[in-house]
Amino acid sequence: MSVVIHDNAACGDARPTLSVLMPFLRDDPSDLLCMLDREAQGVGGRAELIVLDDGTADPALTARLTALIDALSLPARLITLGANEGRSKGRNRLAQEARGRFLLFLDSDMRPDHARFLADWVDLAVNDNPAVAFGGFSLLQAPTDTRYAVHRQMAARSDCISADQRTLQPEKYVFTSNLLVRRDVFDTESFDAGFSGWGWEDVEWAMRVSRRFPVVHIDNPATHMGLDTVEALTAKYEQSAPNFARVAARHPDFVAAYPSYRVAKKLKAVPGLRMIRPLFKQVARLGLLPPALRGFSLRLYRAALYAEAI
């Protein structure tokens, strides 16, 4: 596989405390890079940016990002892969490239919700030395298009919750969208490259880590801009079913407490589930229904997929 690495002028002498690790595939992370770079003076050389193009194969985008990287004040590196290697492998590669004692995994479709987002992460790392910390995410800046109404409703209900709520099940609410990890912790437990497609590799990692290290939750949110249509969500859920089964087999004690697992176990006993399952998908597609009802039907569709996988 071809790998091209491009550093900006600030990268060479940098001695960062925090490495911001940002993978992307067929997205343009330019807006997020610019937003983070506005904090360059505030973090005083204590942060670097490492961006991984995981096989987009778009020379025009690569050229634009190379020029942007060169213009940033923060130390920054762009890694361009000739072929996609997947979510887990890509993030493991980013961690290997990092020079900071702390790693901040940040998805390219996130947007900081306040002007001290990066500085607050650096301060937390320096002052508290956490093993793992998740900052949460919001929908504050997310698009409000009707086509995203179901995903918005579902995310607001189950994902965009306070640190106090997330702390009740600390491993469940760990996503690579806004995740701080101390290097020695990641060296001990990296992402499982056996996961393929979309979903669950970050939660499974958190389950392993939480057995050995404390996982803390704070309110330092960023907006998840990448809301999906119902069609896109169903495709992701279909990809995630084998991954869910992998997690359930490895960590039955954790998974037993998850509503998605409990519903899947009940659905598994329903006769003719394979024939019923498409009806849940059809209901979720009906734009005339309230988003909450469509979201409920979509969760049933996901649970039915998981029922067949476990």
> In this model, does residue 8 exceed pLDDT 90?
yes
| Per-residue burial over 93-127, b = 16 or more CB atoms within 10 Å of its CB, e = otherwise | bbbeebbbebbbbbbbbbbbbeeebbbbbbbbbee
Quick one: pLDDT at residue 196? 80
At residue 242, the pLDDT reads 93
Q: Is the pLDDT reported for residue 217 higher than 90?
A: yes
For 68-86, write each residue's pLDDT tens digit.
999 999 999 999 999 888 8
The chain-wide mean pLDDT, for the chain, equals 94
Residue owning tokens 């579902």? 154
Look at residue 94 in the predicted model and tell me its pLDDT: 94
CA of residue 151 relative to chain centroid, distance: 15
Return the minimum-mean-pLDDT range out of 53-57, 112-116, 121-125: 53-57
Q: What is the pLDDT of residue 13?
A: 86
pLDDT digits over 251-265, tens only? 999 999 999 899 999
pLDDT band at 126 (very low <50, low <70, confident <90, very high): very high
299: phi then psi, degrees, rounded to nearest 5: -65, -35
pLDDT at 133: 98
Helix, strand, or coil here: 135? coil
- The confidence band for 38, taking pLDDT boundaries of 50, 70 and 90, is very high
130 or 87, higher pLDDT: 130
135-172 pLDDT, tens digit each: 999 999 999 999 999 999 999 998 999 999 999 999 99
Among 35-49, 188-202, 216-230, 290-304, name the one with the lowest average pLDDT: 188-202
Q: What percent of the chain has pLDDT over 90?
A: 85
The answer, yes or no, to whether residue 1 has pLDDT greater than 80, is no
Domains and CATH numbers, the chain: 3-227 (3.90.550.10), 229-310 (no CATH)
